[in-house]
Amino acid sequence: MFKSYPLTSRFAFFLVIPIIVVATISLLRLYGSLPQEQGKVSIRGLSSEVTISRGKHSIVSIQAKHDEDVYFAMGFVHAQDRLWQLELQRHISQGRLSELFGRASLKSDVWIRTLGIYESAKDSWEHLTPESRQSLTAYTAGINAWIEQENPLPTEFVALGVEPESWNELDSLAWMKMFALNLSNNMWREIEFLSASQVLSKDKMNFLFDNNNQDLIYTSTYQDLLKIIPIEELSKVREDLETNLHIGGKNVGSNAWVVAGKFTETGLPILASDPHLSLQIPSLWYAVKQEGSQLNSTGMSLVGLPLVIFGKNENIAWGGTSMLADVQDLYIEQLNPENNSQYLYNGQWIDFDVRTESIKIKTDSPEFMNRPLKPIDIQIRSTVHGPIISDAADGFESPVSLSWTALKPGDTTYNALFEINYSENYSSFRNALSKFVAPTLNYIYADTKNNIGYVAAGNIPIRKSGNGQYPAEGWNSDYMWQGYIEKNMMPSSLNPKQGYIVSANNRIVDSSYPFFISKDWASPERAMRIEELLLDRIAKKQLIDSRYFKQMQGDTVDISAKRFVSLIRNMNSEVPIEKEAIELVKAWDGDMSKDSIAASIFHVWMKNLKSQMFSDDLFSYWNRKDESRALSKVWRNTTNAQIYSALSNERSNWCDNITSEEVESCDYILHSSLRIALKELIKLRGKDIEDWSWGELHYVSLEHQPFGQVNALNLLFNRTLSTGGSPNTINVADAQFRQSKGYVQSFGAGFRQVIELSNESNGYYFMNSTGQSGNVFSDYYDDMFERFFNVEYIDFEESLAPSNATKLVLASDSVSRK
């Protein structure tokens, strides 16, 4: 061969073969990063043996004699399956992403450092019970035990040249703060209010910012705030957090409901829960069963914490949704003109609390061709209200601070989460939740004694004046927080007469409730649909079982769409394609299923209808793009219910906008927006209306961080699938339009669970949105993905049957954990 093809042979020998060898070795090493599932491992830090069973889909069950050892094993399995996720979460919550990804992450690092997430975690540690601390310490030791074994590392570490750091207890508490930040968006609502107030009348402001028939406090004070707060700069910060860190966003919430035993086949309650967050791969959640001396919990853990967050134990079951309470306020601070290191509070000049932090920045790629970047030092100031967020953005004329419940001293939320797992009844469950601080959640409850209940959990501030709708004067005591709603005054319910409880981020109190909670409740359609389906079964006197709850979680009927159809009963057109589209929508039942053509027409129509109806009021000039971005956020966040109300002229006339050619009418806007929608559909899917099914336009995209945004690598790490649903369906799907690609869903349920209580054994059915593993070479990286979006379920106990399970024993080497 060398003689016949000398050049080819030499090329193969000296270049191709070495590449193949190196690639093979690398692949073998990467496959070696998969977890050991069987055998026995001697490990330091355990007091007794622990058995880790893995069933179908690598569902994990942990059994130990001592609860502390269970938490140790939780750290071990999280490290086995999600080590890169743990490392990434640590860097996010510490404001250290720039160390991994370079200066592109600097803005978000400065923001997180300014908030003081990690500093606040240090304070939280001081307020934990000994038992809570022990669980975190054991979890920390379990993660570090896996790292210390020096196993081959997952792909991300190898590709980025990163070594995992030792975990510590504060990393877990800091990630809890980030989770709370994900569910706390009130400051951005204040910015939206300010942004809209530049251009809208009082009536239209009331229409957009109060969909619960309460009057807004509306004064001229806000006009002065526009000179102080650079809305466009804060809009950039918000966009960075939502896009790059998946923190916050529209419609962040959840569904949860429970039905009493008198309506069920088992004669005991059934509970359903599916938290809604920004979607990613791997999922934030990890399924586990924990059995110790007193601990016996099954459910979904949050990677970074050792506990079951939503699930069941032997006696109770629980789920939750975001309450959307207003727990953040912005304050304008007044500087001392003679000493700018002081601010005015309660008639006195007070020194800012100041600390300096250094942010390391990874050298630009390729590193060998670029000089190392010097760390940057930032000064962080705080007041009695909270951190000065204006130091993390440009353009502020005065300091602006953020008051947020999660940053206040004495956060005992982890104590609450810990104690829930040991609760035996409603009383102990509610007592555990009395320690909950942030985020504010609606907890749904059931127990084996045939009780169902609801508890509102978290600290909600009491304001002396106003409702925190826009930034207040920090020096004015009228706007100070006066404490929090007493826990015994928080909304709660036990065994309500109707025999069921529904929570879908909807309003939880009526006008008789003496305290202010929020003006930012979600539109009620999801809650209405859940109740409609329950009442339908109850009215027919058909007993409810877990199968029905599973069907409900997959429901894609949008009540707001059905309401819209009633508005266009008399709408017609002489243009054939418009006429056909109108007739399809008229005959439609509002089901946003992926095979529905009417669903596509409706969704694209509503997008353009929203734009035509609201955008010309919420307008800025072309050469003020950042301001336009902020205003567009306002009209893009309007709801279908608001569109319906505007078209019905119930509260404010949005169809009277004068253009250069004619005065608009609602009928004109309906026809005009439909024409634009049809042009868009033709561009995306062609002229044949039969090709316009919603699933052809709408797909879910789960993106990996960081490789999901890298060409070629995204094909390996990301996952996409055609889906149905809308923001108002139980099977929630909030999608963003991407030019030429269609509607991309990156928000929805992160997992689903249905818990059927029984005197014999409590059935636990669930599905995660991705898989148990974060390792792209694992069979369990995405094995639940399609099943999840097809609304299929795993029976937890069945998956762990002996015939399906592998066993790994962690044996103590008799060295005490430090």
CA distance to 392, 403, 476, per residue, from 332 (Å): 15, 11, 10
Q: Residue 329 annotated as binding?
A: yes
- Give the angle 749-752-755 at the CA atoms, nearest 5°: 150
Extended strands (E) in 491-633 = 492-494, 500-503
Interatomic CA distance for residues 57 and 772, integer angstroms: 7
β-bridge partners, 259: 270, 500
| Cα dihedral 143→149→152→156 (10° resolution) | 30
Choose among 113, 178, 117: nearest CA to 378.
Answer: 113
**254 catalytic, yes or no?**
yes
Could you tell me which of 644, 637, 600 has the C-alpha nearest to residue 615? 637
The encoded tokens of residue 618 equal 């919420």
Q: Please identify which residue in the block is written with the tokens 């159809």.
A: 565
The one catalytic residue in 93, 254, 382, 632 is 254
377 annotated to bind ligand: no
Among candidate residues 441, 429, 490, the one with its CA nearest the CA of residue 462:
490
Angle formed at CA 378 by CA 375 and CA 381, multiple of 5 degrees: 160
Residue with tokens 């804060």: 234
- Identity at 353, one-letter amino acid code: D
Give the number of residues written for the chain. 818
Angle between helical axes of 186-197 and 231-244 (0-180°, round to 10): 140
List 798's β-bridge partners, or say none: none
Instruction: Specify the amino acid at residue 727.
Output: P
CA gap 517, 524 in Å, rounded: 16
- For 214-239, letters b (16+ CB in 10 Å) and e give eebebeeebeebeebbbbbbbbbbbe
Give the whole-angstrom CA distance, residue 689 versus residue 673.
Answer: 18
Q: For residue 502, what are the contacts with CB-CB under 8 A and spacing of at least 6?
A: 256, 257, 527, 530, 531, 534
- Contact between residue 229 and residue 400 where contact means Cβ atoms under 8 Å apart: yes
C-alpha distance from residue 164 to each of 88, 177, 302, 557, 572 (Å): 10, 22, 19, 45, 64
What gap in Å lies between CA 247 and CA 236, rounded to an integer? 14
Q: Is 274 annotated as a binding residue?
A: no
Distance of CA 674 to the CA centre of its chain: 33
Name the residues annotated as catalytic: 254
Known binding-site residue numbers for Ca(2+): 190, 326, 329
Known binding-site residue numbers: 190, 326, 329
